[in-house]
Amino acid sequence: MRKKIFLVISEEDTICPECGSPLCRRDRKLRVHKEAGGKKSWFAINRLKCTNEKCRRLHNELLECMIPYKHYGSDIIEDVVGSDELETENYPCEATMKHWKWWNSQNEANIDGQMRSMLHHLMDFDIKFLKSSDSLLKELKGRISHGKPCFFALNGIELKYT
């Protein structure tokens, strides 16, 4: 039985997330992508190498729907983490779903901090926003309804999610 393999080609210039140096294509590797209902797709993704002699780290160039170190797509993982009840026939086994929920609960503070940092750097939010004790992640989870725009304010700053 032959499997279809999708070739991923990117036109973007990429930089190393560790040191900021340019990355160059080293080779490709196969990566499985699992979807609801058990469907699998295979992608040939680029492996990139940092050009900085002191760094030389390898990085995988993933599609937006892929999460590092996970075979299931981001849409499935988001559904599992964001819901209390799911039918298991369209999703992975119960142990995998419990692990994702546990991992998310252990990393909520880190995720919240990363989101604040990005908003501070990309949108010039002030330092008061960074030091707030309100959970940006919990606020987003509580207000997002799939497919509908969401407006909310945190510490007097209005944000829109679509």
Q: Per-residue pLDDT averaged across 4-26, rounded?
A: 86
Query: Is pLDDT of 154 > 60?
Result: no
C-alpha span between 68 and 60 (Å, rounded) = 8
Domain boundaries, the chain: 1-72
pLDDT digits (tens, 9 = 90+) for 126-138: 666 667 777 766 6
C-alpha span between 145 and 135 (Å, rounded) = 18
pLDDT digits (tens, 9 = 90+) for 16-52: 888 889 999 999 999 999 987 778 899 999 999 999 9
Amino acid 152: pLDDT: 45
Cβ–Cβ < 8 Å for 95, 112 = no
Cβ–Cβ < 8 Å for 149, 161 = yes
Amino acid type, 3 = K
Amino acid type, 71 = H
Amino acid 10: pLDDT: 79
Rg for the chain, CA atoms, rounded: 19
Is the torsion defined by CA of 106, 15, 10, 148 positive or negative?
Answer: positive
Question: How is residue 28 written in tokens?
Answer: 């490709």
